[in-house]
Each structure stands twice: as C-alpha cells, then as structure tokens.
C-alpha cells in the first residue's frame, strides 16, 4: 500500500518525507485555507519536495470551469494530479483530462456505483471517504471492500483505490487487507502507525538494563 499525506502544511510534509514512507500528497480547499498561504505557491513547493503525485483540487463546478482551472494547475509541475468532485460535470472533466494524459483524482466518493463511474471515466484515483461514512452510521470500510472487489473483476480498470477521510490506524490496516492501493493520511495518523504501548515498554526495559551494564557503544 502506498501512503499519501493529507495536508498542505509544508513543514509537516518535509518532516515526514525524511522517513522515506511518503509516496504522495493530497490537498483540498480546506487544507489550503488552514495553511494560510497562496494556493499555487503551496502546490509548487510540495511538488518540488515530493516525487510522487500531488493532488490539487479544482474549485469550479462546471466542466468548462474545471478544465480551465486544470489548465492553470497542470503546468505547475509534472506530478500534479487534478482533483475533481464526483459529480456529472466532474466525471465529464475526468474523461477529457484523462484522454489528454492528465492524472485525475476523483474525490468525495460515497458509493460503489460512483466508484465504477469514475473508473469508466478514466480516473487515476478514486477517493472514497471512510470516516465521513462512519460519522453517519455507515461502515466506511465496507465501501472500500466493495470497490476493491468490483475493480478486481476487470483487467481494463487501472483506477487506484485511494482511501480518504482516514481517522485511525485501524482504517489503514483493514483497507490494506482489502487490497486498497493507497491511503491518504493526516500526519498524526501516519505517525500513529508506528506506535504501540508494548514497544515503548520494551524499549524502556532494554534501556534500563543497558544503563545498568555501565557500557557505551560510542
């Protein structure tokens, strides 16, 4: 499974990149607002840091508007992925952009039917929102399972399942077991994957015993 980091905080991205575990970045208008910075400047800086896909989301809601904004965003860097909403206009824009060789991340997916349409439109990524479904009492991971199962039936589908709205490490592990290609994670969740209380307890015991030996390695 590939890990994308879901943030527009350049400092966070830089720190996580040092781990060698980040394969890409996703942003959205809310994350850009939170950064307090110019949209184009942030995307350009992230693209320079990250070799993998960097999702930049359009704000337009019409086909022509999405295509016009995509024309402004794609020249920023070769690894820009255009992020569009899963609407009819978004699907039409996806078809046009993918035909031109532009990577497209179709976002705000909440059903397997929507995911199937996005794949047929040529999306590079489909972003089903696990956490937001959980919030309304629907099992978000069941959607991931359904999409993975459907996509696996057809060799012609190249769309990658990008698990979004991830809230916990458990979401990541379950989605990985289902065969999802990518998970986009808030920085805190990505760091949380490395944590376990028994690791901390074991390390503390080892360090205490080592100190008792009075030895040094360096």
Catalytic residues: 83
Q: Is 152 exposed, middle or buried, given 0-12, 13-18 or 19+ CB atoms closer than 10 A?
A: exposed
Residues 13 and 32 sit within 8 Å (Cβ to Cβ) = no
């Amino acid at each position: 499974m590939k890990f994308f980091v879901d943030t527009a905080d350049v400092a966070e991205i830089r720190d996580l990149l040092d781990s060698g575990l980040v394969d890409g970045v996703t942003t959205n208008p809310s994350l850009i607002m939170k950064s307090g910075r110019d949209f184009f400047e942030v995307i350009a800086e992230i693209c320079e840091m990250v070799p993998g896909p960097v999702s930049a989301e359009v704000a337009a809601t019409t086909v022509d508007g999405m295509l016009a904004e995509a024309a402004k965003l794609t020249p920023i860097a070769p690894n820009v992925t255009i992020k569009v909403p899963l609407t009819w206009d978004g699907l039409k824009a996806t078809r046009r952009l993918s035909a031109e060789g532009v990577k497209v991340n179709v976002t705000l997916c909440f059903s397997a039917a929507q995911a199937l349409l996005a794949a047929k439109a040529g999306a590079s990524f489909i972003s089903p929102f696990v956490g937001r479904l959980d919030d309304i009492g629907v099992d978000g991971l069941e959607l991931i399972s359904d999409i993975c199962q459907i996509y696996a039936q057809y060799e012609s589908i190249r769309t990658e399942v990008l698990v979004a709205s991830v809230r916990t490490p458990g979401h990541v592990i379950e989605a990985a077991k289902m065969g999802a290609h990518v998970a986009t994670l808030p920085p805190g969740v990505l760091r949380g994957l490395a944590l376990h209380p028994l690791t901390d307890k074991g390390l503390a015991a080892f360090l205490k015993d080592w100190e008792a030996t009075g030895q040094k390695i360096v």
